[in-house]
Amino acid sequence: MSERQTRAAELLRTAGVLPVITVHSLDEARAIADALLEGGLNTLELTLRTPVAIEALAMLKRERSGIVIGAGTVLSEENIRASIDAGADFLVTPGTPAALADALAAADIPVVPGAATPTEFMALRERGFRNCKLFPASAVGGLAMLKGLAGPLHDMRFCPTGGISESNAAEFLSQPNVLCIGGSWMLDKAWLAAGDYARVRETTARAAQIVRDVRAN
């Protein structure tokens, strides 16, 4: 467990920004992944919210060398098994009830369990988790919540997701207890609908630059 948690921390810190993507076809998955990779982000969270998600995950792992994919919106043991079988590099949940937490603890790849309250994070900590997703970050206090958690849960690190944008990304990423930030601002639905992947690539490049700038200070 500790080795997988160390690996989870490494994956998140290396990513800096974790684009959260939802795909409706294999072609869309390829186009989004290529725009993200060309923009400078090689780690993404692919949500299991559509029928094609697992197939898309497996396809991207086969076809795009160097890509790191976390299976997101993992809600069940079935999701865990399917994601691992498809080649997921790590797992991410939006929330983590006890049964799911136990299943994640037994998984043989890195996991980033999600929670929204100190009590939930304490329960995850008791199971050995030290790197978690704060979701929905802005709705539950955003920066104030992260600063509040830093004292009592000083050995935990977070990937806040939900309500983060290009305008506040640096401020979130600058928090000492933040390893990574999740978001979909570089994947505007209007751009995707129009096939404007150049905009996705440009916004992704700015996101990658934010990571470099924050880490340089």
Which domains does the chain possess?
2-216 (3.20.20.70)
Contacts of 96 (CB under 8 A, 6+ apart): 104, 113, 114, 115, 120, 124
Q: Which of 113, 106, 118, 108 is nearest to 85 (CA)?
A: 108
Position 76 scores a pLDDT of: 98
Position 129 scores a pLDDT of: 97
pTM higher than the cut 0.85: yes
- How does pLDDT run across 29-84, given as a tens digit for each residue? 999 999 999 999 999 999 999 999 999 999 999 999 999 999 999 999 999 999 99
Q: Which residues are catalytic?
A: 45, 133
Which two three-digit tokens encode residue 40? 């400078």
Residue 1's pLDDT band, with cuts at 50, 70 and 90, is confident
- How far is CA 191 from each of CA 152, 194, 197, 202, 214, rounded to the nearest angstrom? 42, 5, 7, 12, 27
Residue 217's pLDDT band, with cuts at 50, 70 and 90, is confident
Q: Are 89 and 11 in contact (CB under 8 A)?
A: yes
Residue 24 three-state SS: coil
Q: Which of 89, 83, 90, 159 is nearest to 121 (CA)?
A: 159
Position 139 scores a pLDDT of: 97
- How does pLDDT run across 128-137, given as a tens digit for each residue? 999 999 999 9
